[in-house]
């Protein structure tokens, strides 16, 4: 038996964030530098063959429990992390078995019902070397697994595969990843059917991953169908045995931050479940622009006060600031409105809408031109309360040189005055939502009590910090002291709140600040102080926009529901033409329209909160469902919930999204609900 072991260290965009802190001065936003990902695992041996004797497929249809079985080696594979990430974002149930750690293959069926609707192998042969190389699944285990696949018509997918006969493939060559170089993969006609949410002509870049190229090699009575090609080499295929067993194999490595993994994994899940599964995925993009109506300080690398961690601009302080300041003018707002409208005219982006997070204090002048320009166009945007004057709620005042947090009455005033401003102006602010200045106040019992008493249900948390990241994605975080108030994690970007221009060498330069943080002499280092820089060459504006748009593309592919953080300075028209905000989203929308046919939707903060609550309630209900192919689904729930089911149209109706039908089935506690196919 031959095993190939691969060890790689590559740099990819981070899915975990870091944050710079400055004593006594909270940051407006988090940071998301690149990180290092290490991959090391055995791959499938070419000599491993099936031990199952050929036999005719079983014709009768048997019910299957709606969850996936993931077979892993030691649980440390990056492929396992990726699978769990994508499934968790969808809300799709799964069970992981770590075979190399002594966990046994679980019972798969009871003669009448299958316990799993699909099986995913992290690697094709589940190989381990300790030190002798072997499969973590015994020959008897493989026989049991393949018998189950045959008798219950359950599909098996391999997430990273050495080409071999089990999958109807034969090795032709291997490609080692080279930093900065990607392979261009294209869908076959059959692949376009398996990945219907991708454009048939899409070019899918494969980078930072080892790739085995292969060719089809089925034996008599078998069929191998290429799905994805690099040149004339197969990198993904389905394979059907003479007895009806079906396999899918990817011969490129997978990891959750990798672009091709983000683009292709959902199609694998659809295939292995035959398109019917608990959970759902949609492409959401809900940008928040903070500090609307206020000015912003601008980055200046030559002044300590004007660099990250410096003193934030205080709108209550009339003294001239040390740093340059920018506030939007009516022309900037008109440009935003026209730009957004131009994208919304395209059906794929008709659901895109910016959320303006406003402070009424900034427009207290009676004839403020920005307010007079914005109010007639308010229906083109979502509006969220950012408190009246943007004061730090954790350091509302100082006593003897020490910070004092906001008290209850002060918090009621900050929230109430901004809602009162909106009401006076006829501004339709989201009544259930507040974004606190600098994400402060979230640990203050007085502020949280004031929020609850004001009818506020949803605040935002800093998604770049551990306390702002829930254990399960696409769920909310309970607030510290108020049961009725929930926190929505918000994604930071590397479009900084002090940035207003794509030009270099000028105040507010996005390029200068990015390189100050991540460049050859950057503040952030790989592994912390003393480590290597993230980039050995200073990055250009186009490189920064390209990298940031790729990061946000990942959120779209995995169905991330959380909002994104931007600031009013990012809407400033530099050179009178562009804004950093529009440059970034132009890049995202251009890339998305070339690779995907799925529509993009933006949600209000309260709509996001409600969706996160629904997901949490569904997960807490411990739903168990059984699918009988061709007939329908029966849902058993311990609690009342709306259960998302993709691939079934319930009697009460369903949504059409891309090629998927999605039903949200209302179930009662301790009940069984039937959903028939329609």
45: left (phi over 0), alpha (psi -120 to 50) or beta: beta
What residues are paired with 13 via a beta bridge? none
Residue 669: band (very low, low, confident or very high) from pLDDT cuts 50, 70, 90: very high
DSSP one-letter string for 175-239: E---TT-EEEEEE-HHHHHHSTTB-TT-EEEEESS-EEEEEE---TT-EEEEEEEETTEEEEEEE
Residue 606 φ/ψ, nearest 5 degrees? -70, -35
pLDDT, position 53: 56
Count helices and strands in the chain by DSSP H and E runs: 12, 36
Q: Mapping DSSP to helix (H, G, I), strand (E, B) and coil, where does residue 361 land?
A: helix
Listed residue (594, 608, 601, 662) closest to 259, CA to CA: 594
Listed residue (146, 174, 114) closest to 239, CA to CA: 146
Residue carrying the six token digits 């529901």: 561
Q: Is the pTM of this model over 0.75?
A: yes
Residue 348: count of CB within 10 angstroms of its CB: 16
Mean pLDDT value across residues 311-318: 70
pLDDT, position 1: 35
CATH architecture assigned to 43-275: 3-Layer(aba) Sandwich (3.40)
Q: How far apart are CA 140 and CA 162, in angstroms?
A: 21
Domain ranges of the chain: 43-275, 283-605, 621-676
Contact 495/545 with Cβ under 8 angstroms? no
Residue carrying the six token digits 């469902």: 625
* % of the chain residues with pLDDT over 70: 90
283-605 placed in CATH 3.10.20.30 = no
Largest Cα separation within the chain, whole Å, is 86
Q: What is the pLDDT of residues 490-499, one digit of tens each?
A: 999 999 999 9
Contact 624/639 with Cβ under 8 angstroms? no
User: Which pairs count as long-range contacts for 534-538, CB under 8 Å and 24+ apart, including other chains?
Assistant: 534/11, 534/33, 534/34, 538/511
Candidate from 56-65, 241-250, 340-349, 504-513 with smallest mean pLDDT:
56-65
Mean pLDDT value across residues 460-489: 97
Q: What is the pLDDT of residues 580-596, one digit of tens each?
A: 999 999 999 999 999 99
Q: Mean pLDDT for the chain?
A: 91
Residue 420: band (very low, low, confident or very high) from pLDDT cuts 50, 70, 90: very high
Q: Mapping DSSP to helix (H, G, I), strand (E, B) and coil, where does residue 502 land?
A: coil
Contact 46/611 with Cβ under 8 angstroms? no
């Amino acid at each position: 038996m031959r095993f190939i072991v691969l060890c790689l260290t590559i740099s990819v965009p981070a899915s975990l964030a870091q944050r710079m802190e400055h004593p006594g001065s909270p940051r407006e936003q988090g940071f998301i530098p690149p990180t290092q990902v290490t991959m090391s695992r055995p791959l499938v041996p070419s000599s491993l063959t099936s031990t199952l004797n050929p036999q005719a497929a079983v014709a009768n249809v048997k019910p299957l429990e709606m969850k996936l079985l993931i077979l892993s080696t030691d649980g440390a594979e990056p492929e396992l992390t990726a699978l769990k990430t994508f499934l968790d974002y969808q809300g799709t149930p799964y069970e992981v078995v770590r075979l190399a750690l002594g966990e046994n293959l679980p019972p798969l069926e009871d003669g009448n019902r299958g316990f799993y609707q699909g099986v995913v192998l992290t690697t094709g042969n589940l190989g381990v070397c300790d030190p002798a190389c072997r499969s973590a699944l015994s020959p008897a285990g493989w026989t049991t697994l393949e018998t189950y696949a045959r008798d219950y018509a359950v599909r098996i997918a391999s997430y990273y595969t050495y080409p071999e006969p089990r999958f109807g493939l034969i090795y032709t060559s291997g490609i080692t990843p080279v930093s900065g170089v990607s392979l261009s993969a294209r869908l076959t006609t059959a692949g376009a059917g398996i990945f219907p949410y991708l454009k048939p002509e899409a070019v899918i870049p494969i980078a930072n991953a080892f790739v085995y190229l292969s060719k089809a090699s089925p034996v008599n009575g078998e069929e191998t169908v290429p799905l994805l090609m690099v040149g004339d080499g197969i990198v993904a295929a389905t394979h059907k045995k003479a007895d009806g067993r079906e396999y899918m194999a990817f011969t490129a490595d997978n990891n959750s931050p990798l672009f091709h993994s983000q683009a292709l994994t959902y199609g694998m899940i659809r295939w292995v479940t035959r398109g019917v599964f608990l959970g759902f995925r949609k492409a959401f993009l809900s940008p928040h622009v903070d500090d609307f109506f206020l000015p912003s300080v601008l980055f200046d690398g030559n002044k300590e006060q004007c660099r990250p961690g410096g003193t934030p601009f205080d709108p209550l302080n009339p003294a001239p600031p040390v740093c340059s300041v920018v506030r939007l003018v009516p022309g900037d707002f008109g440009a935003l409105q026209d730009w957004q409208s131009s994208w919304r005219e395209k059906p794929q982006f008709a659901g895109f809408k910016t959320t303006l997070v406003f402070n009424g204090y900034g427009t207290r002048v009676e004839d403020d031109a920005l307010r007079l320009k914005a109010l007639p166009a308010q229906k083109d945007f979502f509006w969220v309360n950012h408190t009246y004057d943007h004061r730090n709620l954790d350091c509302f005042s100082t006593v003897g040189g020490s910070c004092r947090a906001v008290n209850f009455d002060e918090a009621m005033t900050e929230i109430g005055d901004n809602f009162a401003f909106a009401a006076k102006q006829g501004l339709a602010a989201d009544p259930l939502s507040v974004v606190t200045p600098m994400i402060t106040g979230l640990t203050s019992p007085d502020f949280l009590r004031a929020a609850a008493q004001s009818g506020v249900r949803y605040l935002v948390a800093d998604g770049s910090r551990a306390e702002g990241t829930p254990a399960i994605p696409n769920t909310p975080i309970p607030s510290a002291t108020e049961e009725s108030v929930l926190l929505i994690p918000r994604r930071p970007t590397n479009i900084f709140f002090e940035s207003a221009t794509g030009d270099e060498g000028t105040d507010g330069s996005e390029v200068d600040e990015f390189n100050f943080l991540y460049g050859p002499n950057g503040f952030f280092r790989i592994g912390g102080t003393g480590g290597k820089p993230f980039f050995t060459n200073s990055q250009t504006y186009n490189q920064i926009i390209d990298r940031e748009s790729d990061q946000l593309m990942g959120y779209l592919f995995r169905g991330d529901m959380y909002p994104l953080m931007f600031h009013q300075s990012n809407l400033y028209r530099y050179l009178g033409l562009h804004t950093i905000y529009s440059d970034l989203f132009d890049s995202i929308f251009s890339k998305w329209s070339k690779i995907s046919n799925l529509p993009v939707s933006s949600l209000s903060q309260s709509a996001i909160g409600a969706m996160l609550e629904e997901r949490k309630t569904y997960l807490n209900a411990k739903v168990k469902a059984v699918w009988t192919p061709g007939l329908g689904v029966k849902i058993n729930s311990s609690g009342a919930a709306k259960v998302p089911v993709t691939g079934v149209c319930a009697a009460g109706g369903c949504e059409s999204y891309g090629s998927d039908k999605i039903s949200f089935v209302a179930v009662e506690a301790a009940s069984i609900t039937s959903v028939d196919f329609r």
